[in-house]
Structure 1
Amino acid sequence: MTVNPESRPSLGRALGETARLIGKLHRRALADFDSDFPTWMLLTLLREADVPLPLDEVAKELNRRLDLAEPDTVRVLERAAAAGHITYQPENASAEAELTEAGRDYFTALYAHARKVTDAAFEGIDAAGLDTALTVVLAAKERAAAVLG
């Protein structure tokens, strides 16, 4: 266990507080586009896949990424469909969800805005320092995942 000078928090505390504040910035940016984090994750998932995804796969992945229960996933899907961002037909036995063209455009604009807002937190920080910080965070993530099994 490392001992920190009293003027500095532990690395874990600093990471947690930083993640909370950057998350707050991110949610504020999403709200600027009348969006929320679960919708952001749905749109991100569909954009990453770039092909229609079965609804059970969408539900499984949103549960993995957000601990989002299936009824909540259905509500997110319904809101995104009502906004014209995705298509899906839940009554179809082999139902799939995919981004509409309007959804792609919306996500592109939303992503650019969210990135601009959250990048402001890193403005003026040396690129080499950011790279080192990312290396440390990714190594800690890998080790934590290994401990959790």
Structure 2
Amino acid sequence: MRRKARELAFKVLFEHAVGGVSLEEAWEHVSQSQELEEGNSSTEGYDDLLDQGGLEFARRLLEGYQHREAEVDKVLGSTIQGWSFGQMAKTDLAVLRLAAYEMLFEPTPYAPLIEVAVKIAKRYGGEDSGRFVNGVLGRLLKRIESGEIQAVEKEK
């Protein structure tokens, strides 16, 4: 359920960034779309495939990122090596922003969060997106574990 919720949040943030629409407009459009799984010929949208908890989790990620955007982008900017946000693929940036927000401000354990972020990057990004996202999130995790960057306590 959380993987699908993260995918929904990614698509909304991506559409918001690329389409120049508000997060609410992007939410309405994307949450009604279908393509959850490759080859899915269902007409069900995210609203039909995610329970209320999943929809609330996706919305919490988006709202949390929106409220902490400057902090997240500052941490990401200092973690990403050799790239500016303008040089990065919009898909990679959307995945990284949501994952970094969750790593810093949500109690989610790191391993499943990073694994899902890499899968989303591989699915929607370019050929090297999975490796790139994994590398950036790995560096961010090292910075958190070393105490260089503070993050909320994680669930056990």
Calculate the TM-score normalised by the size of structure 2.
Answer: 0.30
Bigger share in strand: 1
